[in-house]
Structure formats: structure tokens, C-alpha cells
Structure 1
Amino acid sequence: MVRGKTELRRIENATSRQVTFSKRRNGLLKKASELSVLCDAEVGLIVFSPRGRLYEFASSSMQGTIEHYQSFKKDAQTDDTYKEQNMQNLQHEAENMAKKIEQLESSKRRLLGECLGSCTIEELQQIEKQLERSVVNIRARKMHVFKEKIEQLKEKGKLLAAENAILREKHGPQQPQEGLNKEKQSLPCREGSDKSDLDVDVETELFIGPPDARTKRTPQK
């Protein structure tokens, strides 16, 4: 069974209050001494009784502990001040960044041809100049990319030509396919004629005399 927390209240009886103070004070001083010895901690304890009597305990020197405390307190305050100033600076930078982002978004919309109703003549002329400069830069970049692509294609063509030359040297030049032997050509034949007629000797010399006396002359070789 868990006991509930007992609410602490001021002891109304003065004698009981003094006895309790003495007991708790001695226990507190003992705990402070044990803490400094066991944990090697710098401990400074100051207690004033209800009558204004001072009770203290210091593990090393009470004055040194107090100075250490004051220095730490000062550093903590300085650190808190620095953190507060740093936080204010960050908030200021965040506000400036938000304003810059808003200006950039507005400029972007105007460059896209939006929200131009509130622009003055000077602002419209400035936007027009910006667009003209952008077009010039885009065209220059496009031409540069085209030139790079052309150079790449030229290099690729050179590599293909070199590979083609290597293949020609390896396999030799291709001979064009010719027709049949040109030396063996037949004479054209007339319609109704036979090929045997081409082998018949034709006598073309003039002979005068009777037919019986005509003799066939054998051509001399």
C-alpha cells in the first residue's frame, strides 16, 4: 500500500520547532559532509536559525565557494544574455529571409507575366530588359550546345571512317561482279535462221564462165 505524501507545515509549538531544527540541522550538515567526501564535490552550506544564529559547512573554503558561485552566476547570466541576443538575431534574420523570399516570388510571377497590374512603366521596362537578357543568354547557350553536338558527331564520323578503313585492309577490296566472259559472245541470229548457217562459208568472189566450170575454191591459209 502506497502512502500518500504528507503535507509539510510549520510547527506551531516553539519548543518542538527548536528541537526539530536541531535534529534536522545536524542531519543536513552530516549529509553535506558525506556528499563532499564520497563524491569529491565542492559543498558550501549556510543555515540561519530562527533566532538568527549562523551554522555553516564548507568542504574547502566558504569564501572560495562563494566566489565560485558568484562567478558561475555571472557567467550564467552572460550566457543567458548571449542566448537571448542570439535568438533575437536569428529572429531578425528569419524575418529578412521571409521578406527576400516574398520579393523573389513576386519577381518570379512578374517575369511569368502575372500580377502586372500594380507595376509602373519603369518596372515594366525593367522586366522587359530582364527578359531580353534572358533570351540572349538562352540562345547563346543553345548555340553552344549545338556546336558541342556537331563536334561529337564529327568525332563519331572520324571513328567510323577509321573502323571502315581497318575493315578494308583486313578483308581486301570488294571485286565488282562482272557478267559472263565478254570474249565469248554469239552473233545475233535472224528470225527463221539456224545456227548451222553461221558455219557455212559464203563465196563472195566474182566468177565468169559456165556453171560447170565453176569450182569451189578452197581459201588458202
Structure 2
Amino acid sequence: YEFGSASISKTLERYQHCCYNAQDSNNALSETQSWYQEMSKMRAKFEALQRTQRHLLGEDLGPLSVKELQQLEKQLECALSQARQRKTQIMIEQVEELRRKERQLGEINKQLKHKLEAEGCSNYRAMQTSWAPDAVVGDGATFHVQPPHSTAMDCEPTPA
């Protein structure tokens, strides 16, 4: 086309422009359809998740069959078991932490006793008598010292 007239060059340019635009238009249409299909899949998945959530909350159970209800019951029992296990684990960790703190405070108490004994025997004995059960405070009020509690964990429920 290099030996052709200027109008032939323009015609070829218009032809190429139309061909490429048609391909771009087809690609855009294909991409739009793909996004629409993806959106439809996501919407269906969202609705299924909402339905499952309602079932797990005990709502909208009417259309479920006996088999589906049994499966739902099994899922709920499994979830409840996992929640109980996690709760027990947290409680055990808390008990261990409290025992650690108890040991730490016991050590601090021993150190303070030794320090008091070292500073002066008379001050320590006066404090020790004030710590005795049924000790009388300076204003005549009596207070009772609680005996130390056992650290054993009682897991059995007490009868009501």
C-alpha cells in the first residue's frame, strides 16, 4: 500500500481500527459475562451460608429432613464439645497462673519474715501475735484469720 493513494492508507487505517475495536468489544463482553457468572456463584454461596447460619441458630428448620436435622445436631454437638474443651483449657491455664502467683507470694512472704526476724526479734513477735487467729486490734475489735485453703481442684458437683 505504499504505492497507493492517501485514501487507501486511510481506508486501511479505518479497517484496522474497526477490527481491533470489535475484538476489544468482544473481550469486554466476555469479561462482563465472566464477572456476572462469578457474581451469581458468590450470591448462591452467600445465600447457602445464610441458610446454614439460620439452621445453626435453630431458625427455619421446617424444610429440613430427618437426616439433615441429625447432621445439624451432630455439628452442634461437635461445636459445643470444642467450646467446652477450650473453656476448660482456659480455666486450667488460669488455675496454673494463680498457683504460680501463690508460690511467688509465698516466697515474698518468707523473704519478708526473714527480713523482719533479722531487723529485730521484738517487732517480729509483736506482729506475729497480731496475726494469730482471733487477734484483737488496737481498738478492741476482733478479727478472725481464715485457714489456708487447699489447692486441690474439686471437679465433682456438690449435691444441691
TM range (shorter): 0.5 to 0.7
What secondary structure is seen at the aligned counterpart in 2 of 1:95? helix
Give the deviation of 1:138 after TM superposition: 1.0
Q: Greater share of helix residues, 1 or 2?
A: 2
1:175 aligns with 2:159: no
**Rounded Cα–Cα distance in structure 2 between residues aligned with 1:163 and 1:152:** 16
CA deviations over 1:15-46 (Å, ceiling 9, x no partner): xxxxxxxxxxxxxxxxxxxxxxxxxxxxxxxx
Give the alignment partner of residue 77 of structure 2, picking from 119, 132, 140.
132
Describe the shift of the 1:88–1:164 C-alpha distance in structure 2 as closer, same or farther (beyond 3 A): same
1:165 corresponds to: 110
- CA shift, 1:70, in A, is 4.8
Whole-angstrom CA distance in 1 between matches of 2:16 and 2:112: 90
Moved more, 81-90 or 67-76: 67-76
Structure 1 length-normalised TM: 0.46
- 1:56: how far off? 4.3
1:45-60 matches, within 5 Å, as 56=6
Q: Which letter does structure 1 place at the counterpart of 2:48? A: Q
**CA shift at 1:169, angstroms?**
3.4
| Secondary structure of residue in 1 paired with 2:125 | coil
Identity of aligned residues (%): 29
Q: Summarize the Cα distance change of 1:121–1:171 in structure 2 as closer, same or farther, 3 Å threshold.
A: same
**Counterpart residue number, 1:90:** 35
1:165 & 1:73 partners in 2: Cα distance?
Answer: 94
1:99 aligns with 2:99: no
The CA distance in 1 between the partners of 2:115 and 2:19, in whole Å, is 91
Residue by residue over 1:90-141, the C-alpha shift from the partner in whole angstroms, topping out at 9 and shown as x without a partner, is: 1111111111111111111122222222111111111111111111111111
Q: CA RMSD in A?
A: 3.0
Aligned AA for 1:122? K
Q: Matched residues in 1 for 2:13 and 2:110: separation?
A: 91
How much does 1:143 deviate? 0.9
Aligned equivalent of 2:55, options 104, 110, 115? 110
Distance 2:74 2:106 in 1: 48
**How many positions carry a matched residue from both structures?**
120
Structure possessing the higher radius of gyration over alpha carbons: 1
Show structure 1 runs of 5+ residues with no match: 1-54, 179-221
For residue 115 of structure 1, give the secondary structure of its aligned residue in structure 2. Answer: coil
Question: Within 2, Cα distance between the matches of 1:74 and 1:122?
Answer: 58
Equivalent residue letter for 1:154: R
- Taking a change above 3 Å as real, the CA distance of residues 71 and 143 of structure 1, as seen in their structure-2 partners, is farther
| Closer/same/farther in 2, CA of residues 67 and 168 from structure 1, 3 Å limit | farther
The DSSP-based 3-state class of the residue aligned with 1:113 is: coil
